[in-house]
Amino acid sequence: MLVLGIESSAHTFGAGVVERGRVLANEKRMYRVGTKGMIPARVAELHAKNAAPVIKEALDKAGITTEEIEGVGYTKGPGMGPCLQVGMLAAKTIASSLHIPIVPVNHAVAHVEIAKKEARLKNPIALYVSGGNSQILRLGEKPNRHYAVLGETFDIGVGNMLDAFARNIKLNPAWGSTVAKEAKGGRYVPMPYTVKGMDFSFTGLLTHASGLAKEKSNNDLCYSIQETAFAMLCEATERALLMANGRELCVCGGVAQSERLKEMLAGMCREHGIVFGYAGNEYNADNGAMIAYVAERLLEKGASAKLRDCDVKQRYRIETAMVP
């Protein structure tokens, strides 16, 4: 099948084209946060402007016309309501005008599934880390295959925590990746460390590190908050792997672009003889190809939705989502 996937859950509007599991195009445009956070209505406004050109770019890159699309998938959630609405409306417009099937996709499922494909893993435990989400996941057995959450954040996602910290100490742009750059060569300052079994919490760490802004250098604080947060994720993931007897681990989501996090996870996996893999950054950042990839497999299983039933869900939990 030739399937178009549309992603718009947060700062990125993405359109991807997939055919028989092969990515033909993966185009995107992003909202730039600068020193301020995301204002959902403004981001949605930008997505609405970008939707048509980004979809056209994806079709051009794939070398196909609109009429050749055989199915369309869109991100139903989790994400920011106004942003999700833009992607859903674009997908519904295409599906209704071309009379082709449409399928809603869970954003987290898409991140994990594209990482599994790219890393050539069969059935890994997944550490899914992004702005709004931080979860340790395992796919259940057939026939009712759903992802189970083995552990997760009690409060905010690790990406939002790092972004909020960057804003608090006035880094520009206020991204987790700016924290990563600023962390190089820093010295460790003791930080609160909160892991409860396979769950973890980041707000205490954020409050404490932000409160030290006048006493300590940005360099030392960025190093310490990053090392502490990633060590917490590693500990919880290690426990999940050992308790579930997992033999493979993948890391996915926006924060999986962090070289330091991957280095720490790789070291932990090496100690236990666990196979570790991840997708390239193109697929860890939000993108339309991962939505198209899952949509194609869902559509082939006959999982299309009626247009009137297509909606968005800001807190769309992965445990309740269809898995291809």
Per CB under 5 A, residues contacting Fe ion are 130, 286
Q: And the tokens for 271?
A: 């100690």
Q: How far is the CB of 14 from Fe ion (least distance, A)?
A: 10
Q: How far is the CB of 253 from Fe ion (least distance, A)?
A: 5
User: Kind of pairing, strands 134-139 and 195-196?
Assistant: unpaired
Q: How far is the CB of 287 from Fe ion (least distance, A)?
A: 8
Say if CB 2 and CB 70 are below 8 A apart: yes
DSSP 74-109: EEEESS-HHHHHHHHHHHHHHHHHHT--EEEEEHHH
* Residue 112 burial class via C-beta count within 10 angstroms: exposed 0-12, middle 13-18, buried 19 and up: buried
List Cβ neighbours of 185 (8 Å cut-off, separation of 6 or more): 219, 223
Q: How far is the CB of 291 from Fe ion (least distance, A)?
A: 10
Nearest to 292 by CA among 1, 76, 61, 3: 3
Q: How far is the CB of 36 from Fe ion (least distance, A)?
A: 20
Say if CB 6 and CB 291 are below 8 A apart: yes
